[in-house]
Amino acid sequence: MEGDSVTLKTNVNEIREGDDIWWKYGAEKSFIAKIRKSKQIDSRYNDTNVRFRDRLKLDNQTGSLTITNITTHHAGLYTLQITGVKESTKTFSVYVYAHLPVPVIISNSSNCSSSSSSSSSSSQQNCSLLCSVVNVSDVSLSWYKGNSLLSSISVSDLSISLSLPLEVEYQDKNTYSCVINNPIRNKTTHLDISKLCHTCADSVSLIELISAAESLLIVAAVLIFSICRKYRKTDAEGKTNCGKVVKFGTLIEDSPIIDHSKFGVSDSHSLEPPSRINEFAGKMPNYI
């Protein structure tokens, strides 16, 4: 796994005097490190190889090679060559896997789709889902129902994005999970149907509720317009004014001034109840 340290062992308990241990990388077997034991241990590294700079460490007793903070760029073939009294060669194949991302599950439907069942007259509503991972290589992406594999897709060396669809019934009580794995590790995301899947009935009810609210707003607007139009019409006839109120015993400021003496009523009766005022106001056209 990227970031780990990997040790390639020589299986030698102790380097014998006069032995040379060479470490080489790749098919071209380019030199990367060497250790020699004479009167003292002499270790050398190929600092011109940028790929391994400051990442290699030799064991002075066994000659084993440790690669620190390894990345996918360090995967490949390593060759161990021991020369001296007894010569031997050994190869190592190193595989390095990137850290696995957590699979992401999303709803892949505009609400839900309906599929009719031959054994039932009622339609079964299904939810379409999509499990995805990005920038991965050498992995498999799979859907599981419980412990049973439903579907799987794999990618080898390319760093790409993977997606795998799944369709379930919204009322399904089974457990589903999306798993990404490589040969050494895996990561799992469990499906929560109640959060991602909603029935068509739920969607229709919401639409109906919104439509009803819009209708009520329209009715309210028409009603307000009609009331205001009525008051404006009354105001145009000189009787009242839209939006103004007659308080008990007091005329609104826009009402015509009535000469009470013409009706045989003294000023002491000026604060008559609204009904009396309206009675006198009705006689206005005959006297004014």
The mean-pLDDT minimum among 19-28, 122-131, 257-266 falls in: 257-266
H, E, C per residue of the chain: CCCCCEEECCCCCCCCCCCEEEEEECCCCEEEEEEEECCCEEEEECCCCHHHCCCEEECCCCCCEEECCCCHHHCEEEEEEEECCCCEEEEEEECCCCCCCCCEEEECCCCCEEEECCCCCCEEEEEEEEEEEEEECCEEEEEEECCEEEEEEEECCCCEEEEEEEEEECCCCCCEEEEEECCCCEEEEECCHHHHCCCHHHHHHHHHHHHHHHHHHHHHHHHHHHHHHHHHHHHHCCCCCCCCCCCCCCCCCCCCCCCHHHHCCCHHHCCCCHHHHHHHHCCHHHHC
What pLDDT is attached to residue 201?
Answer: 57
Looking at the predicted structure, is the pLDDT value of residue 253 above 50? no
Q: Read off the pLDDT of each residue in 250-259 and give the average, rounded to a whole number.
A: 46
Looking at the predicted structure, is the pLDDT value of residue 39 above 80? no
Q: Read off the pLDDT of each residue in 40-50 and give the average, rounded to a whole number.
A: 87
pLDDT tens for 54-82 read 999 999 999 999 999 999 999 999 999 99
What pLDDT is attached to residue 233?
Answer: 62
The mean-pLDDT minimum among 10-19, 227-236, 273-282 falls in: 273-282
Q: Read off the pLDDT of each residue in 229-256 and give the average, rounded to a whole number.
A: 51
What pLDDT is attached to residue 84?
Answer: 86
Query: What is the pTM assigned to this prediction?
Result: 0.58
What pLDDT is attached to residue 34?
Answer: 95
pLDDT tens for 182-201 read 999 999 999 999 898 876 65
Looking at the predicted structure, is the pLDDT value of residue 232 above 90? no
Q: Read off the pLDDT of each residue in 106-131 and give the average, rounded to a whole number.
A: 63
Looking at the predicted structure, is the pLDDT value of residue 229 above 80? no
Tell me the pLDDT of the chain averaged across its residues. Answer: 78
Percent of the chain's residues with pLDDT above 70: 69
What pLDDT is attached to residue 270?
Answer: 44
Which domains are delineated in the chain?
A: 6-94 (2.60.40.10), 104-198 (2.60.40), 202-287 (no CATH)
What pLDDT is attached to residue 200?
Answer: 60
